[in-house]
Amino acid sequence: MTRIRELSFSRLDVPLIEPFGIATGAQVVAHNVLVHVRFDDGTEGLGEAAPFPAVNGETQESVLAVLPEAARALTGRAATRFRPLALAAREAVGAVKSALCAVETALLDAFCRRAGLSLWEFFGGSEAELETDITIPTGDVERAHTAALRARDAGFGTLKVKVGGTDPEMDLARLRAIGSAAPNAKLILDANASLSADEAVRLLDALDELRARVVLFEQPTAAEDIEGLRTVLERGRVAVAADESARSAADVTALARAGAGNVVNVKIMKTGVLEAWDMVAAARAAGLGLMIGGMVETELAMTTSASLAAGVGGFRFVDLDTPLFLGERPLVGGFARTGARLSLGEAGPGHGVRASAHSGKPATVQG
Ligand SMILES: [Mg+2]
């Protein structure tokens, strides 16, 4: 029987080209963590944790603090029984879900490599391509305008605009600048839980003719403000996605019952991979639309998410753009990107992502 020989991890610090700002804070360097698993038959797998402090308080340090316990819990166990392993990892890491995501990804990567499968095939291989949006982070009007021009020229048809955490007039001015720079683009607004329902509806109303181009309003209100999500859906006359409010399959079912939003943003980084997969099933069962997203991640976690979404199929919104914000390429492989199009057909085995030859071997903290 093949067993897990070793689970180790190291810091993965990736500078960004420019700050990735959302309503509640910004990142200038992605302080992520790389997890490496090795089976006793030599098969290896990699996973990534991308803690985003401004979203849920997780940090690189909190990830590094719980991984030794995961290594202890998994070493020596049967390597090909993914679900019992994922359950043990979940218990070991507690609330630090990005750490769980990294461990599960590394295990699945190794499992699929051993089986000669890509992760995309493992999840079902439904669609060979996804079309991602690109994010316009918070910042001034000039910066928003420049970013929108760049996105248009690069072939992106959907722009996701971070709103909230500022004067509403600033958001309006940014949205108008973006709208004129990319006149054919669809718009997704994401407030990252920073507005009241009234503020969100007022923002939509103030958009005038731009409003028709808004295809989704992501998490306008606080994570606990379920009623607010429902209000924006009803009074805003726009699709509403739950992101910060949807952190488990049980959350998805409760949101559906409450009529709070009609789309769920699934992120392996906020729940782990298995729970994300369960959220997809819960959303489908409840008739909710699906979005795939992430934190500030490299190709590793993003290809894993893309493999889930394209493998299962039927995702209406795809937000897997953060590799475009990275100033270095410490990892190579994974999906092939042409403009907004992400191709999974040639990725793999596993997610297909490996350390770049130029990056050197990261210092490994033994688990
Ligand atoms: Mg979001």
Centroid of ligand 1 to alpha carbon of 79 (angstroms): 34
Rounded to whole angstroms, how far apart are CA atoms 292 and 272? 13
Rounded to whole angstroms, how far apart are CA atoms 44 and 357? 17
Centroid of ligand 1 to alpha carbon of 136 (angstroms): 12
Centroid of ligand 1 to alpha carbon of 201 (angstroms): 18
Predicted confidence at residue 20, as pLDDT, reads 85
| Cβ contact 255:242 at 8 Å | yes
Question: pLDDT tens digits, residue range 222-238?
Answer: 999 999 999 999 999 99
Predicted confidence at residue 329, as pLDDT, reads 83
| Cα distances (Å, whole numbers) of residue 15 to 105, 154, 324, 360 | 23, 22, 12, 16
Check for a shared fold between 4-116 and 121-355: no
Predicted confidence at residue 348, as pLDDT, reads 86
Centroid of ligand 1 to alpha carbon of 123 (angstroms): 23
Taken in order 71, 97, 291, 335, is the CA torsion positive or negative? negative
Centroid of ligand 1 to alpha carbon of 244 (angstroms): 7
Rounded to whole angstroms, how far apart are CA atoms 111 and 350? 8
Question: pLDDT tens digits, residue range 181-218?
Answer: 999 999 999 999 999 999 999 999 999 999 999 999 99
Residues 6+ apart with CB under 8 A from 222: 193, 228, 244
Q: Which amino acid is at 151?
A: A
* pTM for the model: 0.95
| Cα distances (Å, whole numbers) of residue 53 to 28, 56, 60, 122, 245 | 12, 6, 9, 31, 17
CATH superfamily of 4-116: Enolase-like, N-terminal domain (3.30.390.10)
Centroid of ligand 1 to alpha carbon of 25 (angstroms): 13
- The closest of 1, 9, 3, 11 to 71, measured between CA atoms, is 9
Rounded to whole angstroms, how far apart are CA atoms 356 and 359? 5
Question: pLDDT tens digits, residue range 37-93?
Answer: 999 999 999 999 999 988 889 999 999 999 999 999 999 999 999 999 999 999 999
Centroid of ligand 1 to alpha carbon of 319 (angstroms): 9
Torsion of CA 245, 251, 253, 254, to 10 degrees: -80
Centroid of ligand 1 to alpha carbon of 175 (angstroms): 17
Q: What is the mean pLDDT of residues 147-152?
A: 96
Residue ranges of the domains in the chain? Answer: 4-116, 121-355
Q: What is the mean pLDDT of residues 337-344?
A: 96
User: Is residue 300 predicted with pLDDT exceeding 80?
Assistant: yes
Rounded to whole angstroms, how far apart are CA atoms 247 and 270? 7
| Cα distances (Å, whole numbers) of residue 311 to 123, 243, 289, 304 | 5, 21, 16, 10
Centroid of ligand 1 to alpha carbon of 140 (angstroms): 20
| Cα distances (Å, whole numbers) of residue 340 to 125, 335, 336 | 20, 12, 10
Residues 6+ apart with CB under 8 A from 288: 252, 255, 256, 261, 262, 263, 264
Centroid of ligand 1 to alpha carbon of 358 (angstroms): 33
Residues 6+ apart with CB under 8 A from 148: 136, 159, 177, 178, 181, 182, 185
Centroid of ligand 1 to alpha carbon of 182 (angstroms): 21
Three state DSSP letters for the chain? CCEEEEEEEEEEEEEEEEEEEECCEEEEEEEEEEEEEEECCCCEEEEEECCCHHHHCCCHHHHHHHHHHHHHHHCCCECCCHHHHHHHHHHHHCCCHHHHHHHHHHHHHHHHHHHCCEHHHHCCCCCCEEECCEEECCCCHHHHHHHHHHHHHCCCCEEEEECCCCCHHHHHHHHHHHHHHCCCCEEEEECCCCECHHHHHHHHHHCHHHHHHEEEEECCECCCCHHHHHHHHHHHCCCEEECCCCCCHHHHHHHHHHCCCCEEEECHHHHCHHHHHHHHHHHHHCCCEEEECCCCCCHHHHHHHHHHHHHHCCCCEECCCHHHHECCCCEEECCEEECCEEECCCCCCECCEEECHHHCCCCCECC
pLDDT band at 357, cuts 50/70/90? low
Predicted confidence at residue 359, as pLDDT, reads 54
Q: Give the domain 121-355 fold.
A: TIM Barrel (3.20.20)
φ/ψ (deg, to 5) at 29: -125, 135
Q: Beta strands 353-355 and 331-333: pairing type?
A: antiparallel
